Each structure stands twice: as C-alpha cells, then as structure tokens.
Structure 1
Amino acid sequence: MKKIMTIVLLSFLTFGFAQRDREGMRDKIKAQKVAFITEKLSLTVEESQGFWPIYNKFDETMHQIKRKDMREIKMKIRQSENLSDADADNLLNQYVSAEKKMHEAKMKMIQELKNVIPSAKIIRLRAAEDEFNKKLLERLREFRKGKGRD
C-alpha cells in the first residue's frame, strides 16, 4: 500500500511540475510574441495600450475554440473509420460552426482594431503572426534535434 501511495504521489507531483513548465513556456512564448508583434507593427505606446487588450481577447477566444470545439471534432474524425452519413453530416456541421466562430472572432477583432490602429497595421498583423509562428516552429525543430543528440 505504501508503494502505491508513493507512486500516486510522484505521479501527481510530476504532472504538477509538467503543468507549471508548460504554463511557464506559454508565458515566455506570449511575451516574445508581444515584443515581436509590437516591433513589426511599430506600435506606439498609445496604440499598444488599445491594441493588446483587443488582441489578447481575440487570442483567448481562438484558443478556446481550438481547444474545445476543434479538438473534439478532430478526435471524432480520428476515432471513426466507418461514419454513417448522418454522423458525417453532424460532424461537418460542427466543423463549419467552429470555423464560423473563428471567422466571426477575426471580424470582430478587425472592427475593434480599426478604432485603435491604422488599417495598414492591421494588414501587417497577419504577416507578423505568420512570421512569428514560422520562427517558433523553426526553434522547436532545432530544440528537438538537439534533444535527439543527447
């Protein structure tokens, strides 16, 4: 019994540390993203004060949709080889609904940002996000290569 309790306790501790590490990494990435986008868009102090609350709200909405709706849909797709037409239609409707939510969130963000920054900077935002994500993926690949050598 003592061994089982020790294993359970270690499992919880390990999970807790892993969770904290993930959250810490997420915070570091977010800070780097803020700096990167602020620089790429040449946001002034006043623009930043209006921009970041709107962008962060949008980012959280997108994260929620991807984490809840899209993850569930993708899991159902992977788990089902022989879907009935009715099940497939239902899954497609869920997918379209999630995509629509993401589109509506983007449109809302754009409309709100128009009151804060020039349209040209809103256009450059998409390119800055893509560039940041590309660099992040490259760093992840390099990190994984380095770990594989150890």
Structure 2
Amino acid sequence: MNYFLRSVWVFLLLATVSLSARAQAPAGQQDRLNQLENAKIAYLTDKISLTQDQAQKFWPVYNDFTTKRRDLNRQMRQLRMASPDGLSDDQIKTNLNQAIALREQEVKLERDYFNKFQKILNIRQVGKLYSAERDFTREVIKRVADRRGGRGRPESQSDN
C-alpha cells in the first residue's frame, strides 16, 4: 500500500472515530460524516488499487450507487419502524409487500452497478470493492465500539 495513502487513511479514520461525543451539533455531525467519507475514499482507493484514470470514472458512479442504496435502506428502516401491533392486517400486508419490493429494487441496483463497475474496473477490482466495503464498515464499527468501551456487537455476532 502506498505509504502516503495509508497515512491519510489512518489519520482520517482515527480523527473520525476519536471525535468527542460533545460535538453533537449538526455542523459537527456533518464534519464527522465528511471525515468518514474521506477515509472511506482513501481506503477503497487503496484496497482496489485505483489508477488515477479509473478513479476519475469510478467515484461519480460509486457515489451515485451509494446515494441510491442509502435511499433504499432509509425506506426499509421506515417500514420496519411501524409496529405490527398498531396496524390492520391490510396495512401489515402492504408493508410486507413494500419491503419485498424494496429488496427487489436493491438487488436490481446491485446488478446494475455491478455491470457499471465492470466497465471501469477489472473483475478482480470489483470483487475487492465489495470486500473492502465490508472491511471498512467492520473496522469503523469496531473502532466506535472500542471508543465507547466495547459496547458494540460481540465479535462472534459479526457478519462475515
């Protein structure tokens, strides 16, 4: 790994997870989100060995993908928030059908962007992308849990 990229990634990741919990203002949250996003960019760029030319083509496509994926996840969370106890049978059925439709949209999104990524990256890089996304998320969760005194998910429950 390029020493400079490793240093940038480590600095950004540590800065992100070590910020004080007192900085809960929206501006502070936005700063932390920006730092986390910058750390993710550095991490993914390094892990999938993007060339400068690939990076210029890849990041706009990837950002579009993550925006759409985030929107689908937000819609799923909203559906899960409704307790079945307070809903009629028809409402429960509607919510479950909507959840299935959202999962189908998510699979279609993954397939569409898998094809788009292959036009920019070689297949090994695409495989590394998915792996690096999971690794980055796992590392951030671990560091946040460590910062909070280990109140995260136990290692035995982590996704692989």
TM-score, structure 2 length as denominator?
0.74
Percent of aligned pairs with the same residue? 25
Q: Partner of 1:72 in structure 2?
A: 78
Aligned to 1:41: 48
Consecutive aligned runs of 4 or more in structure 1 exceeding 6 Å deviation: none
The alignment status of 1:131 with 2:135, answered yes or no, reads yes
Number of the residue aligned with 2:28: 21
Q: Post-superposition shift, 1:71?
A: 2.0
Higher RCO (Cα < 8 Å, 6 or more apart): 1
Asked whether the equivalents of residues 69 and 106 of structure 2 are also in contact (C-alpha less than 8 Å), the reply is yes
Number of aligned positions between the proteins: 127
Deviations 1:47-67 (A, max 9, x none): 111111110000011111222
RMSD value over aligned CA atoms?
Answer: 1.6
In the alignment, structure 1 segments of 5+ residues that lack a partner are 1-16
Alignment of 1:112-123 (within 5 A): 112-123=116-127
**Matched residue, 1:61:** 68
Out of 123-132 and 99-108, give the one that drifted further.
99-108
Unpaired segments of 5 or more residues in structure 2?
1-23, 151-160
- Residue in 2 that maps onto 1:9: none
Q: Deviations over 1:49-106 (max 9, x none)?
A: 1111110000011111222x11210111xx3326543222211111011112221221
> Does structure 1 conserve the Cα–Cα contact (< 8 Å) formed by 2:84 and 2:92?
no
CA shift at 1:145, angstroms? Answer: 1.6
Higher helix share: 1
Q: Give 1:97's aligned residue.
A: 101
Shift of 1:121: 0.8
Paired AA for residue 57 in structure 2: G
Q: Which residue of 2 aligns with 1:4?
A: none
The residue type paired with residue 126 of structure 1 is Y
Structure of larger gyration radius? 1
Structure 2 counterpart SS, 1:145: coil
**Structure 1 CA distance, aligned partners of 2:100 and 2:92?**
12
